[in-house]
Amino acid sequence: MKELTTRGTKGLLPYLTAGLGGLETTERILQGLAEVGVTAVELGFPYSDPIADGPTIQSSFTRVLEKGIHVREILDMVARFRRNNQLPLLAMLSYSIVYRLGVDCFLQQAVDAGIDGLIIPDLSLEEAPQVARQVSEAGLVLPMLVSPASTPERRQKIAALSTGFVYYMSVTGITGERNQLPPELINNVRQLRQTTGRPVIVGFGISTAEHVRRVCSEADGAIIGSALVRRIMETQDAGGDTEAIVKAAAEAVSGWMVGLPA
């Protein structure tokens, strides 16, 4: 993650639902994404009550939860992956999961497994300072989400608590693929970077190499989630085995990376 600030590079951060197709498949996909050179991966922890997740990611959560895959098993998979790979992994999950296990307890488990940071979309700004302190003390980063509807004052508060980068939502609402990005997006990102002095990564609605190219003309990186999850589920539904799923994921991400500035 430090590359985004120390070298001025632009990054692609794919989102992957943990356990989709099985945890062995997830681990193999992570290996494939590391090989194509992504900056980091957001690893989604399935949760029964969607927060800002659109229908594609909701569907992926349902598939994983129906298999009875638990948080501990996901972290065990991360630990196995971490033995041979240093690709940064950000756990994207509901605060309910963290709170239920206990913040310090979950953070210790995350550190032991090799997680590099947390993204908690439903963490309230009121609770965030205490959690941010605990996350920092654990040696992890905590990027926080800024909505287009956030006031300038609120954006500053969120950015001040964020570590690693600020996660800017391209649209207000839920995740999902979109044909067009908001015309005001680039100007909003420029203002956020200038006023906060923090790296800004943009997510929500990004689904093509052209979207990545446009976003990264100003932002420090782009996040693609629903489009990747859809490719994985389509390959799975077509009867593809683990090899086919890993190949589909890697090829999709490689295609989107073409949009990154050289």
For the cut 70, the answer to whether the pLDDT of residue 52 exceeds it is no
**The predicted structure's pLDDT at residue 146:** 95
State the average pLDDT over residues 221-234.
96
Tokens of 201: 């990564």
pLDDT band at 50 (very low <50, low <70, confident <90, very high): low
**The predicted structure's pLDDT at residue 172:** 61
Beta pairing partners, 119: 92
Q: Roughly how many angstroms between the first and final C-alpha of the chain, as a whole number?
A: 18
Higher pLDDT, 49 or 189: 189
Q: Is there a contact between 205 and 180 (Cβ–Cβ < 8 Å)?
A: no
Interatomic CA distance for residues 203 and 175, integer angstroms: 8
For the cut 80, the answer to whether the pLDDT of residue 111 exceeds it is yes
**The predicted structure's pLDDT at residue 53:** 60
Q: In which order are the strands placed within the sheet that holds 200-203?
A: 117-119, 89-92, 41-44, 11-17, 221-224, 200-203, 166-169, 144-146
For the cut 80, the answer to whether the pLDDT of residue 5 exceeds it is no
Interatomic CA distance for residues 41 and 90, integer angstroms: 6
pLDDT band at 205 (very low <50, low <70, confident <90, very high): confident
Q: What letter does residue 141 receive in the DSSP assignment?
A: B
Domains and CATH numbers, the chain: 12-257 (3.20.20.70)
Classify 225 in phi/psi space as left (phi over 0), alpha (psi -120 to 50) or beta.
alpha
Cα dist from 259 to 97, 130, 255, whole Å:
35, 38, 8
Which pLDDT tens digit goes with each residue over 180-193? 677 889 999 999 99
State the average pLDDT over residues 192-216.
93
Instruction: Choose the weakest-confidence range: 45-59, 148-162, 232-246, 248-262.
Output: 45-59
Tokens of 3: 């590359």
Instruction: Choose the weakest-confidence range: 36-45, 67-76, 164-173, 201-210.
Output: 164-173
pLDDT band at 170 (very low <50, low <70, confident <90, very high): confident
pLDDT band at 82 (very low <50, low <70, confident <90, very high): very high
For the cut 70, the answer to whether the pLDDT of residue 90 exceeds it is yes
Q: Which of 27, 53, 116, 220 is catalytic?
A: 53
**The predicted structure's pLDDT at residue 32:** 98
**The predicted structure's pLDDT at residue 55:** 85
**The predicted structure's pLDDT at residue 182:** 74
Q: Is 112 a known active-site residue?
A: no
State the average pLDDT over residues 201-226.
94
pTM score of the predicted model: 0.93
Q: Is 42 a known active-site residue?
A: yes
Q: Which of 27, 42, 116, 220 is catalytic?
A: 42
For the cut 90, the answer to whether the pLDDT of residue 240 exceeds it is yes
